[in-house]
Amino acid sequence: MRFTGVMVLGGVATLLLAGCAPPSAAPEEDGGPADFALGTIDWEPCKNEEELAEAPEWDGDPEWLETLECGTLDVPLDHADPGQGTIGLAMVRRPAEGSDEDRIGSLVLNPGGPGETGVDLLDFPMFDDPILSAFDLVSFDPRGVGDSGGFACGDWFALDEARSAIEDPTRVSDAELGALEEAARAYADDCAEEVGEDFLAAIGTVNVVRDLDLIREALGDERLSYVGFSYGTYIGALYAEMYPENTRALVLDGAVETERPNVEVAVDQAEGFQYAWDLFVEDCSAAGECPFSDPAASEGWMADLLEDLDADPPMARDVEVDGATLMSMISQQLYYENSGDLLAATLTALDEDTQGAGEYLDVLYDDTFAEYEEESDDWSDKPGMTWADEEAALTAINCADRTDPTDADAYRRAAQEAAVDSPLFGSDLVWEQLPCAYWPDTEEAPSGFTAPDAPPIVVVGTLGDPATPYTWAEELAGQLDSAVLLTYEGTGHTAYAYGDPCVDPAVDSYLLTGEMPEEGLSCPAWEW
C-alpha cells in the first residue's frame, strides 16, 4: 500500500500541498553552498532479526524489509549560511538486484504529503523487475518530517473542534468564524513559539529541493532519476527548474497545483473528492449494489446516515464510528481504485442495520487507522492524535510555500463555496488552511516557472484522482516546457507502480532508457 495522504479527525483525507519559498537561498547557479563539506551516508540494516520477526503485517513483508538499509545525511539547515548548523535527513535504500554492469544508479522517491515519511515508503515492494535490477531505490524523510527533525506544535484538535461546531457549512456565522480564527491564530502562535520562526521558515519546499541535490551528490549520481507522487511532484518540478543540468529523468505522478494560494487549492481538492465519490456512486447504483436507487438519491441517503451515526454510533475496534469518522474512512478508500466493492458492501450493511455493520467497519477502520493505532499510547481517547504531528509539518510547509490571504473572510467564502460544491468533503479542507493567515512571514513563493532547460519529464494524471484532480496534471504538463502528459482513465490517487499493464511499461521504459511515452498516451482503467 502506498499512503500519500494525511488524515484529520474532522472527516476527510487531505494531502495538501505545497509550492515553494526559500527562507534563505543559496545561489542556484552553483548548485548549493560552496563552503559546505558534504558527508557520506553510512548504510546499515534498517531492522535487526528481532524487529523483523515482530513487524506487524501492515509494516511489510519481512523478506523485503530485510533488504532495506538505513542511514543519515547531514545537510545545512540554512543553505545560504551552513555555519548555522545542520539537520540530519533520515534515508532508506533498497540496493539494485542487478549486476554493476546493469545498474543505472539511484532512483529517488517521494511519497507525497507534505508531512509524509519517505522512509516508510519502501516498506512494501514497488516496481517491476527491470527497475529493481537497474536502480537502487532510495527515499528519505524531508526536513521537518519524521526522523528528519519531525515536530509537533500547537493544539490541532482545538481547530478541529471549532470546525465541528459549525452548524451549516454553507452559512458560517460571525461567531463561528471568530472561534475558528481564535483556534487558528493560537495554533500558528504556538508553533512559532514552540518550534521557532527560523526553523519554520527553513522547511519550505525550496530547501527540500536543495537537500535533494545534495542527496544526489552523496549517492554518487551525476544526474538525478526521481519519482514523485502527489506533493512529491512539486519537489520534482522545482528540481527541474533549479537544477536542470543535474536532472536525468523525472516522473511526476498525481501532480499538484503550483501557482495559487492554499485556500483556493483546497476548493479544487474538495471538488476532486466529490468527483471521485460521484464516480463510485454512479458505478455502484448502475450495478445495483448500493442501498440507494440512483445517484440523485445518494446525497439525501448519506445525510440521513451520517445523522443516524452521530446519534447512535456503531463500534469499530472499540471506537465509536460517528459521521465524521465514517467520512474519514470513505475518504481514505477513495485513494484506492479497487475499493468500490468494500464501500458498497459497507453502505449496504449500514442501511440494513447500523449496529450490525461491525465486520465491514472493522475492515475500513483498519485500512484507515491501524498504523496510527499501533503507534499511539492513548488511541481510544483521541483517534488521530498520532497524525497530529504530521499535520504540523503539513501546515508549516503549506504556509511557508504559498502566499495566502490574511483576511478570515476569504476562508469563509472559500469554505462556503466548497460546502456547496462538495457537501460531503468540502469545508474542512478549506478550514485546515486558516492557520496560514497568521503564520510567521516567509519569502514570497516563486511562480510561473517552466524548467526550460530540463530534459524530458513525464507527468502522470488520473482522471478520477480524488486528491490531486486531473486538471492539475494538465496544468503542470502545460507549465513545464519539456513535459509529456500520460493519462490514466481510472480512479484512485496516483497510477504508477501498481502493476497497470499500460502505465507501468511506458514509465519503466522512460526511466530505463529515456524513451518518452507517445504524445497523448491514455491508458484505460485497469480491470482489478
Region 318-322 average pLDDT:
92
Q: Give me 402's grid cell.
A: 504559498
DSSP β-ladder status, 483-491 and 522-523 = parallel
193 confidence band (pLDDT: 50, 70, 90): very high
User: pTM for this one?
Assistant: 0.90
Q: How far is CA 43 from the centre of its chain?
A: 27
pLDDT value of position 15: 37
Higher-pLDDT residue of 5 and 167 is 167
* Whether the predicted pLDDT of 1 surpasses 70: no
pLDDT value of position 33: 53
Region 267-272 average pLDDT:
95
* Alpha carbons 34 and 241: distance in angstroms, whole number: 20
Percent of the chain with pLDDT over 70: 88
* Whether the predicted pLDDT of 208 surpasses 90: yes
Q: What residues pair up with 224 in beta bridges, in sequence order?
A: 247
Can you spell out the DSSP letters for 69-121? EEEEEEEESSTT-GGG-EEEEEEEEE--SS-TTT--EEEEEE--TTT--SGGG
Q: How far is CA 94 from the centre of its chain?
A: 22
Beta strands in 223-288 (DSSP E): 224-229, 247-253
Higher-pLDDT residue of 21 and 314 is 314
CATH superfamily of this structure's domain 6-150+202-261+446-523: Alpha/Beta hydrolase fold, catalytic domain (3.40.50.1820)
**Closest alpha carbon to 93 in 190, 182, 220, 180:** 220
Region 245-268 average pLDDT:
96
Region 332-361 average pLDDT:
93
Q: Give me 225's grid cell.
A: 532519476
pLDDT value of position 405: 96
Region 431-437 average pLDDT:
97
Region 284-288 average pLDDT:
92
Looking at 73-77, 373-377, 404-408, 509-513, which range is the least confident one?
373-377
pLDDT value of position 446: 72
24 confidence band (pLDDT: 50, 70, 90): very low
* Alpha carbons 520 and 227: distance in angstroms, whole number: 20
pLDDT value of position 526: 81
Higher-pLDDT residue of 184 and 391 is 184
Can you spell out the DSSP letters for 479-519? HSTTEEEEEEEEESS--TTS--TTHHHHHHHHHHH-PPPPT
pLDDT tens digits, residue range 418-431?
Answer: 999 998 898 999 99
Region 435-439 average pLDDT:
97
pLDDT tens digits, residue range 144-189?
Answer: 999 999 998 998 889 989 999 999 999 999 999 999 999 999 999 9
Region 283-295 average pLDDT:
90
* Whether the predicted pLDDT of 369 surpasses 80: no
* Whether the predicted pLDDT of 512 surpasses 90: yes
| Domain range summary for the chain, segments of one domain joined by + | 6-150+202-261+446-523
19 confidence band (pLDDT: 50, 70, 90): very low
Percent of the chain with pLDDT over 90: 74
Residues in the chain: 528
What is the chain's mean pLDDT, rounded?
Answer: 88
192 confidence band (pLDDT: 50, 70, 90): very high
Q: What residues pair up with 135 in beta bridges, in sequence order?
A: 105
Query: What is residue 148's DSSP assignment?
Result: B
pLDDT value of position 527: 76
* Whether the predicted pLDDT of 234 surpasses 60: yes
Helices (H), 287-384: 295-311, 323-333, 340-352, 358-375
Region 118-124 average pLDDT:
92
Quickly count: other Cβ atoms within 10 Å of residue 375's Cβ: 12
* Alpha carbons 53 and 62: distance in angstroms, whole number: 7
Q: Highest mean pLDDT range out of 96-100, 336-340, 511-515?
A: 511-515
- Over the Cα atoms of the chain, what is R_g? 22
* Whether the predicted pLDDT of 378 surpasses 70: no
* Whether the predicted pLDDT of 266 surpasses 50: yes
22 confidence band (pLDDT: 50, 70, 90): very low
DSSP β-ladder status, 247-253 and 44-45 = unpaired
